[in-house]
Amino acid sequence: MGKDLRHFIYTIRYPLLLLSVLWIITPLNIVFDLGLTSLGIYPRIPVYLLAVFTGPLIHGSIGHLASNSLPILMLTSILVLFFPKVALKAFISITIGTGLMVWLWARPSYHVGISGVIYGLIAFIFWTGVFRKNVKTIVLSLVVLTLYAGSVESIFPNVEENISWESHLYGGIFGIVVAFVFRNVTEKDEEIYDRKPSWANEHEVKQYFLPRDVFEKTKLQRYYEYLEAERLRQIQESQSNYFQNNT
């Protein structure tokens, strides 16, 4: 295994660990019938407030988990690779914020799965490009837009049965909020975009080929200036000829 590959795997170790945990919990829940769905978020019931932390780890089926696996791995990898300064804070904020909004306003039902966090990460990456407006974040925004543009319909009710569209909607909303909060955090590889070019020295005395007011004068003013300059030139020439003839 090459050094670069080992470094890459080490960098995304936490996304891989998260995916591993998901793939341990769901099969165990199904095989042993553990009934872990009860650890999902049930809105407005105080005891289920802690499910804000456990709900994203629970999935109703292998198919449900499989559909979320690649997006959560890809998006969390983008997070740790390109936004290391805010990766952990953004992930935790989106997870907790989305869970709280679901607990407060979603319909009475068990809400499980990490898809709300996925929608939050999609919104975070896309809107970070909108807010920061540098090359890296704009490219990432376009990548996310290309891959997940079709997912927008899942934030509306009754598009698909047995999905928590509220998690998708609130995840997207909170992802925008987190992107706005961290919009001024500059990653190390983004510092180059904030540097002024070497020639942009504001304190350097500027030199101009023409006088700065040359275009503000009328033709008549410039003609009078020409006559005055010509008069002075003739005087200087006459004086010079006088001294030459008398020496």
Give pLDDT tens digits for 117-171. Answer: 999 999 999 999 999 999 999 999 999 999 998 888 889 887 777 789 999 999 9
pLDDT of residue 231: 86
Thinking of the domain 3-194, which architecture would CATH place it in?
A: Up-down Bundle (1.20)
Q: 229 pLDDT band (50/70/90 cuts)? A: confident
The yes-or-no verdict on residue 116 having pLDDT over 90 is: yes
The pTM assigned to this predicted structure is 0.79
- Complete DSSP assignment for the chain: --HHHHHHHHHTHHHHHHHHHHHHHHHHHHHTT--GGGGSB-TT-GGGGGHHHHGGG--SSHHHHHHHHHHHHHHHHHHHHH-TTTHHHHHHHHHHHHHHHHHHHS-SS-B-SSHHHHHHHHHHHHHHHHHH--HHHHHHHHHHHHHHGGGGGGGSTTSSTT--HHHHHHHHHHHHHHHHHTTTPPPGGGHHHHSPPTT--TTSPP--SS-TTGGGS-HHHHHHHHHHHHHHHHHHHHHHHHHHHT-
**Domain ranges for the chain:** 3-194, 214-245
Residue 194 has a pLDDT of 65
